[in-house]
């Protein structure tokens, strides 16, 4: 589909930009890919497929059982997925409400957490929801631009199993 193709194109551009902008400066700070929770990775896969409802379901399963330092981080990702789900379904008020909370949950984790360069992710998220965040109407008509949909690319990428590529 056109949406899936644009998500893929955006994915490739973001991956290249991340490599170019990071160089070797972050190597010592990177997360060990073996530490990624399987449900975290499954949610990312759904997120990058633009299946925000299912992504939210997967991450909520992780969040419900998890009691460690990443709990609010996962909650922020859930909120981002739900904001994009609302935006895609025309619920601009719901998307706008969640937009601000995503920053509140994710920003305390710094520029990099669990393989995610948060500044890059939040910049892409903000670009996608720019009109939504700026709107003051109760029921505005704002169309989602598939070319601005954010994606999540972990650095380093997750370990692959059974020969499956993570590309």
| Range of lowest pLDDT (22-31, 92-101, 120-129) | 22-31
Residue 45 token pair? 């896969």
pLDDT digit string (tens) for 23-76? 433 333 789 999 999 999 999 999 999 999 999 999 999 999 999 999 999 999
First to last CA, the chain: 18
Reported pTM: 0.79
CA-CA distances (angstroms) from residue 69 to 52, 74, 152?
24, 10, 20
If pLDDT is split at 50, 70 and 90, which confidence band does 161 have?
low
C-alpha dihedral sign at 104, 105, 106, 107: positive
């Amino acid at each position: 589909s056109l949406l899936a193709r644009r998500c893929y194109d955006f994915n490739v551009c973001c991956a290249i930009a991340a490599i170019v902008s990071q160089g070797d400066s972050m190597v010592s700070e990177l997360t060990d890919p073996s530490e990624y929770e399987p449900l975290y990775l499954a949610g990312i896969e759904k997120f990058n497929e633009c299946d925000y409802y299912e992504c939210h379901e997967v991450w909520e399963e992780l969040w419900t059982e998890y009691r460690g330092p990443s709990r609010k981080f996962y909650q922020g990702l859930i909120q981002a997925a739900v904001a994009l789900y609302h935006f895609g379904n025309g619920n601009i008020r719901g998307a706008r409400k969640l937009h601000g909370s995503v920053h509140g949950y994710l920003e305390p984790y710094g520029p990099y957490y669990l393989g995610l360069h948060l500044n890059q992710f939040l910049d892409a998220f903000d670009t996608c929801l720019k009109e939504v965040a700026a709107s003051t109407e109760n029921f505005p008509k704002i169309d989602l631009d598939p070319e601005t949909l954010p994606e999540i690319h972990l650095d380093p990428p997750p370990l692959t199993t059974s020969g499956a590529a993570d590309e």
